[in-house]
Amino acid sequence: MPAVLQTVVAELLDGLVNAYGPFVIPVLLFAVGAVGYLFLVAVGRAGLTAEASRAETRREFERQSGESGDDADERS
């Protein structure tokens, strides 16, 4: 299976280079990077990051214990 995939990718790249020249490779890398960046921005805006998860876990813990971390610090 990996050999078939490698052959298909090699033929695809060979066809692109023959049709458009070698400059197509940096353009494709840029396009793939831009799509990846936009995906990460969308994930970040949707709140699916580890930081948001930690904040949600902290809020849930505070709700269960009945006090926030700031209140406990002020009493000390």
Q: Are 62 and 68 in contact (CB under 8 A)?
A: yes
Whether 1 is covered by a domain: the verdict is no
Whether 48 is covered by a domain: the verdict is yes
Whether 10 is covered by a domain: the verdict is no
Q: What is the pLDDT of residue 49?
A: 64
Whether 12 is covered by a domain: the verdict is no
> How many domains, in total, are found in the chain?
1
Q: Reply yes or no on whether the pLDDT at 62 is more than 70.
A: yes
**Residue 65 belongs to domain spanning:** 22-75
Q: What is the pLDDT of residues 1-50, one digit of tens each?
A: 788 888 998 898 888 889 988 888 899 899 999 999 999 999 888 877 66
Instruction: Provide the whole-model pTM.
Output: 0.47
Whether 11 is covered by a domain: the verdict is no
